[in-house]
Chain A
């Protein structure tokens, strides 16, 4: 388990000043912590593609923004990836809740996207990491390095209960 405050401190140290997205219950604690943060502002977007637009505009203004979304949003977000973030080679860090896995199957609305989440990211050509447990800093270091080197979108998958 990873403490929300530790992740936010890490992101703040890595020069992120803004965050945006659409909530998932997997990120409830993280969003509460963000609300209290003096270092990182959160913009509540109405859709995931809108959140990509906000983050890309912020980057064009020479500042860094990360996204927090549910994996259902990976379906909504497509054109914002392919004709904006990826097309203009804008680096973008996205935390994506990994819903629809076995323990989550009481929520049938997440099952289909849960089954195809990694296939969708592979189809978009977006590198991703499943962040669980103690080596989370190393995973984020690696993801941010890749994001900067390739000027690319990178996704961090987060399963239930990983961020507290």
Chain B
């Protein structure tokens, strides 16, 4: 499966009480196009979606906060996982869509394939669902989403996805509009 198909298949698990933070580039465009609006669609601040998710989870403990990030973004913000591992807000969930490329900028390789994500997350002391290969076992995704979004602790799901450098149109909302619409729904 491609990242956008994985994001689209999340739809049935997203309720009004799910707050999504999506990383800049294709991931936020896909979240905008395929999931209920409004959510936090990042235009820049590469490396920061997990930190933004941490702040949001602390401010809204009754809601589920779901961070959707690509591997390049996750690796740039890796040290923030230490902070998340320390404070562990139970309502923070993170999905890493790992296509091992910087897809939005034309498909340059990331160094993600060198990482053993399960050992890495264990090292941070963070609960993880595991690593799923969406290409080999797409049917396991739905079960994983259900477990992730009902889990009572900080949980991370790493998913290997197919390379896909097809870019969607930019999100038409201006950043201030994104902020205002998102805050109005809370």
A residues whose Cβ falls under 8 Å from a Cβ of B: 18, 41, 43-47, 49-63, 65, 79-80, 82-84, 87-90
The answer to whether B56 and A57 touch across the interface, beta carbons within 8 angstroms, is yes
B residues near A43, Cβ cutoff 8 Å: 54, 58, 83, 87
Can you list, as one digit per residue, whether each of B49-86 has a CB less than 8 Å from chain A (1) or not (0)? Answer: 11111111111100000000000000001011011001
The answer to whether B44 and A49 touch across the interface, beta carbons within 8 angstroms, is no
B residues near A18, Cβ cutoff 8 Å: 55, 58-59
CB distance from B45 to the nearest CB of A (A): 4
> Known contacts A44-B86, A88-B175: does B43 contact A50 (CB below 8 Å)?
no
Can you list, as one digit per residue, whether each of B107-126 has a CB less than 8 Å from chain A (1) or not (0)? Answer: 00000000000000000000
The answer to whether A87 and B80 touch across the interface, beta carbons within 8 angstroms, is no
A residues near B55, Cβ cutoff 8 Å: 18, 53-61, 65
Cα of A46 to Cα of B48 in the assembled complex, Å: 12
B residues near A65, Cβ cutoff 8 Å: 55
B residues whose Cβ falls under 8 Å from a Cβ of A: 19, 21, 24, 40, 42-60, 77, 79-80, 82-83, 86-87, 175-176, 178-179, 182-183, 186
Taking a contact as CB atoms closer than 8 A, the residue among A82, A84, A90 that contacts B48 in the complex is A84
The answer to whether B58 and A61 touch across the interface, beta carbons within 8 angstroms, is yes
5 contacts between A and B (CB under 8 A): A47-B79, A50-B83, A51-B51, A63-B58, A79-B46
Cα of A88 to Cα of B42 in the assembled complex, Å: 9
Taking a contact as CB atoms closer than 8 A, the residue among A58, A87, A90 that contacts B58 in the complex is A58
B residues near A55, Cβ cutoff 8 Å: 55
Closest-by-CB residue of A relative to B92 is A57
A residues near B24, Cβ cutoff 8 Å: 83
